[in-house]
């Protein structure tokens, strides 16, 4: 703490008390008053015998972080009110649903992404806009179900798929899975009046994902 001279001991202690109140996150670890005697004339050097000296007081203090202040604020920060009109929810269930909000936010982010190319769709009719939003929400529902199902199967089978960095993961996003399926095409050929189809560019990873999702998914590509 910066030194400052006072004419009396009470002023020194009062000034120190005012200073520390401006910084509640600090506390005095050690507080001492030093007595300083100076020549009344202001001249330097050794004072003469019987020369009158002025007595001053100086605050010498060591400060530290006020742990009690931080504990109190942390306790307040850890308390918040959760309210719901569903009276059947227990406090634990309500807190869990509150923490799951990020999943809903991810859904909205998915709707606003370039996946749907909404910016390229120009609609003015209110009914058509509502219809488009309904289709988008249904797509999001199917997307979420497929992602959940694949993650559950990966967990059950103790399997994994490579993520964007090529490292194994058990929680891939469906958007990444869709990206991996890009480039797969169906080739139709006609020979002697019969039309045959063949799925091209299928790799082992594709069949692995389809196998985890189920036989009905595999049949779409066979």
Of 116-125, 168-177, 178-187, the poorest mean pLDDT is in 116-125
pLDDT at 161 over 80: yes
73-117: pLDDT as tens digits: 877 776 778 888 888 889 889 888 888 887 777 777 766 776 666
Mean pLDDT of 53-68: 79
pLDDT at 24 over 60: yes
Percentage above 70 pLDDT, the chain: 84
* Mean pLDDT of all residues belonging to the chain: 81
Highest mean pLDDT among 118-122, 150-154, 218-222: 150-154
pLDDT at 7 over 60: no
- Three-state secondary structure readout of the chain: CCCCEECCHHHHHHHHHHHHHCCCCEEEEEEEEEEEEEECCCCCCCCCCCCCEEEEEEEEEEEEECHHHHHHHHHHHCCCCCCCCCCCCCHHHHHHHHHCHHHHHHHHHHHHCCCCCHHHCCCCCHHHHHHHHHHHHHHHHHHHHHHHHHHHHHHHCCCCEECCCCCEECCCCHHHHHHHCCCCEEEEEEECCEEEEEEECCCHHHHHHHHHHCHHHHHHHC
Of the two residues 81 and 41, the one the predictor is more confident about is 81
190-205: pLDDT as tens digits: 888 788 888 889 999 9
pLDDT at 207 over 90: yes
Q: What global pTM score does this model have?
A: 0.51
């Amino acid at each position: 703490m910066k030194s400052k001279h006072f004419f009396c001991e009470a002023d020194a202690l009062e000034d120190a008390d005012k200073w520390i109140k401006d910084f509640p996150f600090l506390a005095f670890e050690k507080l001492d008053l030093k007595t300083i005697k100076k020549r009344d004339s202001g001249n330097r050097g050794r004072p003469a015998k019987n020369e009158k000296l002025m007595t001053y007081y100086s605050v010498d203090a060591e400060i530290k972080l006020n742990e009690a202040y931080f504990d109190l604020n942390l306790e307040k920060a850890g308390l918040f009110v959760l309210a719901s009109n569903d009276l059947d929810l227990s406090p634990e269930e309500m807190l869990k649903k509150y923490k799951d909000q990020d999943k809903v936010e991810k859904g909205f982010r998915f709707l606003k992404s370039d996946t749907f190319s909404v910016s390229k769709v120009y609609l003015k009719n209110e009914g058509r806009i509502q219809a488009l939003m309904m289709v988008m929400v249904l797509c999001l529902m199917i997307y979420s179900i497929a992602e959940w199902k694949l993650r559950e199967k990966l967990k059950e089978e103790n399997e994994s798929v490579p993520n964007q960095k090529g490292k194994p993961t058990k929680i891939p996003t469906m958007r990444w899975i869709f990206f991996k399926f890009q480039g797969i095409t169906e080739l139709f050929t006609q020979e002697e009046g019969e039309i045959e189809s063949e799925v091209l560019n299928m790799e082992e990873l594709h069949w692995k994902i389809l196998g985890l999702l189920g036989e009905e998914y595999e049949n779409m590509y066979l």
